[in-house]
A and B are shown apart, each in its own frame.
Chain A
Amino acid sequence: MTEKTPTSRRTFLKGGLAAGGALAAAPALAAGDPAILEVQPWANELGEGVDVKPYGTPSPYEAHVRRRNVPWLTADPVSSINFTPLHELDGVITPNGLCFERHHSGVAEVDPAKYRLMINGLVERELVFTMADLKRFPRENRAYFLECAANSGMEWRGAQLNGCQFTHGMIHNVIYTGIPLKTILEEAGLKTNAKWIMPEGADAAAMTRSVPIEKALDDCLVAFAMNGEALRPEQGYPVRLVVPGWEGNMWVKWLRRIEVGDMPWHHREETSKYTDLMANGKARRFTWEMDAKSVITNPSPQAPILHGKGKTIITGVAWSGRGTIKEVHVTTDGGRNWHQARIDGPSWDKSMHRFYYEFDWDGSPLLLQSRAVDSTGYVQPTKNELRAVRGENSIYHNNGIQTWHVNANGEAENVEIS
């Protein structure tokens, strides 16, 4: 009987590296490949019936594809962060169960029957909505990336974490279903001195941010679904704010209230946090947009090249909070020479883009980088170009170019280069 224990890709990888380049080709046996010659259990036995998994889960062979956290980053896992496994994903949509999480007082488990959204402040009518009310407004479907302002923040002083999941994984990209915030504000009726709104969360952190009225009336959504199903609890179930292109902190989850005012509130998450300290001791505030950025997800430290030299796919993701991605350039020699990558899949505004660069690897070490250019003409800078303006202590908004060093074995490492 054939061994039925799932062999993870990692076990495979372990064996592959130990055997050098032996896995570059399928086993060449005189009689042929046992995967073909022997009847496999799935070709012989009955599988599970349709009543076994009313809500499906990935193959057990994909058990390693999971969110990970870095315990030393924060004092407590309840006000903390975890990371999307970008190196295991393709295309542009992040599966709901793999979308990174960032909470300030853990996951609020809100009963939708007790969910209320209040609009108050400088409006003609202070209103309360139930879930049933919200689902009677006209809806929109839009794909947007949500990137934490602190994504790549641990890399300001140099190469620290070894894997794009950790260096770039505070991001996800899903299709939201929701009501334009403009519609709800119009329902309440804005007074003429309405200049700012303040969304507030229903969790114990009661997250608040100040958002200028122009953005609120432009493309913000009050969303109740992601990728076709209700929001996940960790993503704000039953309702969150969507603030396209802007730092993730502003996308208030478990949204309970929107106040309309005539000036910003300068709350904790826009003074103590989410302000960017410069080398001269002054700090930028209201740094809302997430600038154009990209990363090669494969190969990368958690996803080495296993097939040896020859045909090789370099792939990654690019995004910009100011529009679409127009071009992505890839270098294999540390930026001496660049190649146009191929963008494939949808090119939506303020959404993740997928790029590929196919080449023949000759087995020599590589210094891989990607460089995004967005629809405004902005070119993704190097980390050193950013540091020249900002120093090393601004924590947030690190969109510098990432470098992976690939050695002759195909293993990749997070490095910085001159």
Chain B
Amino acid sequence: TTAMAEPTGLGRPATPDEVAAWDIDVRPDGLGLPEGSGSVADGEPIFAERCASCHGDFGEAVDRWPVLAGGIDTLTSARPVKTIGSYWPYLSTVWDYVHRAMPFGDAQSLTADETYSITAYLLYLNDLVDDDFELSRENFTEVAMPNAEGFYPDDRTETAVWKNRAPCMTDCKPEVKITARAQVVDVTPDDPTSKHS
């Protein structure tokens, strides 16, 4: 590839323990998964205690917190419900994200076994495994997600919107009508310093 410059010697070598402490990411091929396992039955009480106050007992969500389960076959509907089961392509993303960033406000507090358990329970909530399922590093990559084939690379430059068009400058259309108005929708926050308040 590119010609590499000579190192300046700035910085210092990272120790193996330091790399292990921060390098917690997991890939779809399972690279990064630690030893461990957890079952649907293990996951249910952990989910109830650590997750359900925002995500609901069944992953259905409280208020505007994210819905984690359901929504199968809604991706072409007017209001798609994008969940782990209906939308996410890889199970590794569930494990990685829960372990990295959840519970909200107490991130990186879950052990590897707890994370396997919660992941197994989320698969169960999405009707993807039976209630006796146990997830481990060994069987992890055998789990296929329903929407694994639902994604394709950015193709914007192949579309009609992209193809160079000579923009019209004069007499471009006969008439113009207003078709939608924000004041009718009326969802803009009041500004205490504006005339609209």
Chain A residues with CB under 8 A of B175 = 418
Instruction: Flag the segment in B42-50, B75-83, B122-130 that touches A.
Output: B75-83
User: Contact: B169 with A338, CB < 8 Å?
Assistant: yes
User: Contact: B75 with A277, CB < 8 Å?
Assistant: yes
Question: Given the known A-B contacts A281-B75, A281-B150, are A272 and B18 also in contact in the complex, defined by CB atoms under 8 Å?
Answer: no
Q: B195 contacts which of A14, A161, A392, A405 (Cβ < 8 Å)?
A: A14
Q: Mark A161-197, 1 if CB is under 8 A from B, else 0.
A: 1110010000000000000001100110110100000
Question: Given the known A-B contacts A70-B189, A333-B176, A335-B173, are A415 and B182 also in contact in the complex, defined by CB atoms under 8 Å?
Answer: yes
Q: CB of B90 within 8 A of chain A?
A: yes
Q: Mark B34-69, 1 if CB is under 8 A from A, else 0.
A: 000000000000000000001000000001111000
CA distance A72 to B105 in the complex (A): 20
User: Contact: B104 with A125, CB < 8 Å?
Assistant: no
Minimum C-beta distance from A129 to chain B (A): 4
Residue of A whose beta carbon sits closest to that of B181: A415
Question: Given the known A-B contacts A10-B194, A10-B195, A281-B75, are A417 and B179 also in contact in the complex, defined by CB atoms under 8 Å?
Answer: yes
Interface residues of B in 2-16 (CB under 8 A from A): 2, 4-5, 7-8, 10-14
User: Contact: A208 with B13, CB < 8 Å?
Assistant: no
User: Contact: A265 with B25, CB < 8 Å?
Assistant: yes
Question: Given the known A-B contacts A14-B195, A205-B101, A271-B88, are A417 and B167 also in contact in the complex, defined by CB atoms under 8 Å?
Answer: no
Q: Mark A402-417, 1 if CB is under 8 A from B, else 0.
A: 0001000000011111
User: Contact: A162 with B152, CB < 8 Å?
Assistant: no
Minimum C-beta distance from B141 to chain A (A): 13
CA distance A342 to B152 in the complex (A): 39
Interface residues of A in 361-411 (CB under 8 A from B): 367, 371, 373, 377-379, 381, 385-386, 388-389, 392-393, 397, 405
User: Contact: A285 with B151, CB < 8 Å?
Assistant: yes
User: Contact: A283 with B193, CB < 8 Å?
Assistant: no
Residue of A whose beta carbon sits closest to that of B145: A271
User: Contact: A257 with B22, CB < 8 Å?
Assistant: yes
Q: B4 contacts which of A189, A275, A302, A335 (Cβ < 8 Å)?
A: A189
Chain A residues with CB under 8 A of B100 = 206, 208
CA distance A187 to B11 in the complex (A): 9
Chain A residues with CB under 8 A of B150 = 281-283
Chain B residues with CB under 8 A of A127 = 11-14
CA distance A206 to B101 in the complex (A): 6
- A: interface residue count bin: 35 or more
Chain A residues with CB under 8 A of B64 = 74-75
Q: CB of A159 within 8 A of chain B?
A: yes
User: Contact: A10 with B14, CB < 8 Å?
Assistant: no
Instruction: Flag the segment in A48-56, A286-294, A307-315 that touches B.
Output: A286-294
Main secondary structure of the interface of B (DSSP, over half): loop
Interface residues of B in 97-122 (CB under 8 A from A): 97, 100-101, 104-105, 107-108
User: Contact: A187 with B10, CB < 8 Å?
Assistant: yes
User: Contact: A120 with B23, CB < 8 Å?
Assistant: yes
Chain B residues with CB under 8 A of A378 = 162, 164
The 3 closest A-B pairs by CB, nearest first: A334-B176, A75-B64, A414-B182
User: Contact: B193 with A379, CB < 8 Å?
Assistant: no
User: Contact: A158 with B185, CB < 8 Å?
Assistant: yes
Chain A residues with CB under 8 A of B93 = 266-268, 271-272
Residue of A whose beta carbon sits closest to that of B183: A413
User: Contact: B155 with A284, CB < 8 Å?
Assistant: yes
Q: A190 contacts which of B4, B13, B87, B153 (Cβ < 8 Å)?
A: B4
CA distance A344 to B124 in the complex (A): 59
Q: CB of A280 within 8 A of chain B?
A: yes
Chain B residues with CB under 8 A of A182 = 2
User: Contact: A337 with B187, CB < 8 Å?
Assistant: no
Minimum C-beta distance from B89 to chain A (A): 6
User: Contact: A336 with B171, CB < 8 Å?
Assistant: yes
Chain B residues with CB under 8 A of A126 = 13-14, 19
Q: CB of A67 within 8 A of chain B?
A: no
Question: Given the known A-B contacts A204-B107, A208-B25, A271-B90, are A377 and B164 also in contact in the complex, defined by CB atoms under 8 Å?
Answer: yes
User: Contact: A104 with B169, CB < 8 Å?
Assistant: no
CA distance A405 to B90 in the complex (A): 45
User: Contact: B194 with A200, CB < 8 Å?
Assistant: no
User: Contact: A284 with B177, CB < 8 Å?
Assistant: no
Chain B residues with CB under 8 A of A11 = 193
Residue of A whose beta carbon sits closest to that of B12: A128
Chain B residues with CB under 8 A of A121 = 23
Supply 16 A–B pairs (Cβ within 8 Å), ascending by A: A68-B191, A74-B64, A187-B7, A189-B4, A190-B4, A204-B108, A213-B1, A259-B23, A281-B76, A284-B154, A285-B153, A337-B171, A397-B156, A414-B182, A415-B178, A415-B182
User: Contact: B19 with A120, CB < 8 Å?
Assistant: yes
Residue of B whose beta carbon sits closest to that of A183: B5
Q: B11 contacts which of A133, A162, A418 (Cβ < 8 Å)?
A: A133
User: Contact: A266 with B10, CB < 8 Å?
Assistant: no
CA distance A81 to B90 in the complex (A): 27
Q: Mark A251-287, 1 if CB is under 8 A from B, else 0.
A: 0000011010101011110011001010111111111
Q: CB of B134 within 8 A of chain A?
A: no
User: Contact: A120 with B151, CB < 8 Å?
Assistant: no
User: Contact: B176 with A285, CB < 8 Å?
Assistant: no
Question: Given the known A-B contacts A17-B195, A64-B193, are A413 and B181 also in contact in the complex, defined by CB atoms under 8 Å?
Answer: yes
CA distance A26 to B119 in the complex (A): 69
Q: CB of A243 within 8 A of chain B?
A: no
User: Contact: B161 with A381, CB < 8 Å?
Assistant: yes
CA distance A110 to B183 in the complex (A): 42
